[in-house]
Amino acid sequence: MTNAAEQRKLAAIMFTDMVGYSALSQRDGELALELLEEHRELLRKIFPEFNGTEIQTIGDAFLVEFQSALEAAQCAIEIQRALAKRNADVPPDRRIEVKIGIHIGDVVHRGGDLYGDGVNIASRIEPLAGAGGICVSMDVERQIRNAVETRFEKLAATELKNISVPMELFRIVLPWERQLPTNPTSSAVLPPSPARSWIWISAAVVLLLITGFGWWWKTLPHKSSTMRSGPVIGPSELATNIPQKSIAVLPFENLSDDKSNAYFAEGIQDEILTRLSKIAALKVISRTSTQKYKSAPDNLREVGQQLGVANILEGSVQKAGNAVHINVQLIKAVTDEHLWAESYDRELQNIFGVEGEVAATIAEQLKAKLRGSEKQELGATPTDNSDAYAAYLRGLAPLQNADLLNSNLLGAVESFEAAVHLDANFALAWARLSTTHSSLFFNYDKSARRRDAARSTLDNALRLQPDLLETQLAQAYYHYFVERDYDRARHIFEQIRSRAPNNSEAPRALALIARRQGRWDESLARFHEAIDLDPRNLRALLWFADTHIALRQFPAALKLVDRALEIAPADRSALGRKAAIYQAMGQLQEADAVLGKIGANLTDRLVVGTAANQFVLQHRYPAAIDLLRSYLAKLSATEVEERAETLLSIGDIQRLTGDAVNSKASYSQARELFEAGFREQPDNPFLVSELSAIDAGLGDRDLAIEEAEHAMELVPHSKDALYGPGLEEAKARVLALLGEKDGAISALQHLLATPYGTNSPPITPALLRLDPSWDPLRDDARFQKLVEQRPK
Per the DSSP assignment, residues forming a β-bridge with 136 are: 102, 170
In sequence order, which residues have a C-beta less than 8 Å from that of residue 373 and are 6 or more positions away?
Answer: none
Tell me phi and psi for residue 218, to 5 degrees: -115, -45
The per-residue pLDDT for 367 is 87
Domain 564-787 in the same topology as domain 386-503: yes
- SS3 of residue 637 by DSSP: coil
| Eight-class DSSP state of 340 | E
Q: Mean pLDDT for each 10-residue chunk of the chain (792 residues)?
A: 62 88 79 89 92 84 87 91 86 88 82 73 84 87 75 72 67 67 34 32 34 32 31 36 86 81 82 85 86 78 89 87 85 85 80 80 86 77 89 82 62 94 96 95 87 97 95 97 94 91 92 95 92 90 95 95 91 92 96 87 82 96 95 87 93 96 96 80 86 96 96 92 95 96 97 88 96 96 92 62
| Eight-class DSSP state of 168 | P
In sequence order, which residues have a C-beta less than 8 Å from that of residue 532 and are 6 or more positions away?
Answer: 308
Task: For residues 120 and 608, give the distance between their C-alpha atoms in angstroms, rounded to a whole number.
Answer: 70
Please identify, in words, the CATH class of the domain defined by 7-210: alpha beta
The per-residue pLDDT for 319 is 81
Determine how β-strand 323-332 pairs with β-strand 311-320: antiparallel
Domain boundaries, the chain: 7-210, 246-370, 386-503, 564-787
Cβ(193)–Cβ(212) under 8 Å? no
Sheet strands (E) in 220-310: 246-249, 253-254, 283-284
∠ CA 721-408-467 to the nearest 5 degrees? 65
The per-residue pLDDT for 232 is 32
Looking at beta carbons, which pairs linking 575-582 to residues 24 or more positions away fall under 8 Å? 575/607, 576/604, 576/606, 576/607, 576/610, 576/611, 577/542, 577/545, 577/546, 577/549, 579/610, 579/611, 579/614, 580/549, 580/610, 580/613, 580/760, 580/761, 581/549, 581/554, 581/557, 581/761
Task: For residues 602 and 600, give the distance between their C-alpha atoms in angstroms, rounded to a whole number.
Answer: 6
The per-residue pLDDT for 613 is 96
**What is the residue-wise DSSP string for 560-580?**
HHHHHHHH-TT-HHHHHHHHH
The closest alpha carbon to 649, from 672, 670, 679, belongs to 670
CA 611 to each of CA 341, 594, 670, 764: distance values in angstroms, whole numbers, following the listed order: 51, 10, 21, 18
CATH number, domain 246-370: 3.40.50.10610
Task: For residues 96 and 20, give the distance between their C-alpha atoms in angstroms, rounded to a whole number.
Answer: 9
Determine how β-strand 246-249 pairs with β-strand 283-284: parallel
Instruction: Determine if the pTM surpasses 0.75.
Output: no
CATH number, domain 564-787: 1.25.40.10
| Eight-class DSSP state of 61 | E
The per-residue pLDDT for 296 is 76
Q: Which fold has domain 386-503?
A: 1.25.40
User: How many Cα neighbours within 13 Å face the side chain of 361?
Assistant: 16
Tell me phi and psi for residue 118, to 5 degrees: -55, -40
The per-residue pLDDT for 240 is 47
**What is the residue-wise DSSP string for 731-785?**
HHHHHHHTT-HHHHHHHHHHHTTS---SSSPPP-HHHHHH-GGGGGGTT-HHHHH
